[in-house]
Amino acid sequence: MLSIVATPIGNLGDITLRALEILKSADIILCEDTRVTKNLLSHYEITTPTMSYHQHSDEKKVSEILSLLTDGKHLALVTDAGTPGISDPGNKLIHDLTNNLINKSTITPIPGPSAVIAALSISGLPTDKFIFMGFPPHKKGRETFFREVADAKYTVAFYESNHRILKAISQLEKVLDAKREVVICRELTKKFETVYRGSIEEVSKMEMSEKGEFVVIINKRGK
């Protein structure tokens, strides 16, 4: 069995009892970065062995994981923070395994924290329908990405790194109507959690720390 386990996006208290039970009982925990995961495991005194699985893992690693599952091992997949498979290397592993496992029901979700859902929940923008666009491209396709954001008929959410958040705001300012509502969440659930709200015109003038991780929410295009 493969359990897809959501882990805290910052505050270590944001983990479910079920997730802790799975992490304790699994034979092996597959980690995006074993060093990051071991901080969580140490906090909860969990001694389950870990194995790395990340965006650079090759087919040999996938075959190894498939063999473990075929042998009846219980594996738990975690990402560095949040829900595995959502704009995350775990998605490829899950895809590869579903194409090879005879019993597809052996992959099960253990739900919990997700940065994009946390940000949407406090945005105050329409969430009955929304589009999640992951991370903007670093270079090629970046302008197209922001034009798609501007043209969206529904609320749009995306992630951005600290290295490019100011550039992203500048690009949004160019393609959005000046009054279009924007919510930018920084370091959600952590000590320096900050939420910036207002029109893109207002937000672009705010003093913003470039440290941390960001979720950007854009209101849907007006009629």
CATH number, domain with residue 42: 3.40.1010.10
Angle CA 214–218–223, to nearest 5: 175
The residues near 123 (Cβ < 8 Å, ≥ 6 apart) are 155, 183, 185, 217
Same domain, 30 and 69: yes
Residue 104 has a pLDDT of 60
**Residue 17, in any domain of the structure:** yes
Query: Which residue is associated with the tokens 């003093």?
Result: 207
Domain housing 58: 2-110
- Domain final residue pick, 50, 80, 110: 110
**Residue 176, in any domain of the structure:** yes
Same domain, 103 and 142: no
State pLDDT tens for residues 107-121.
999 999 999 999 999
Cβ 217 vs Cβ 119: under 8 Å = yes
For the chain, the domain total comes to 2
Cβ 214 vs Cβ 149: under 8 Å = no
Q: Residues of the chain whose pLDDT is less than 70? A: 102-105, 223
Same domain, 34 and 132: no
d(CA 158, CA 135): 6
CATH code of residue 197: 3.30.950.10
Global confidence as pTM: 0.90
Same domain, 143 and 88: no
**Residue 223, in any domain of the structure:** no
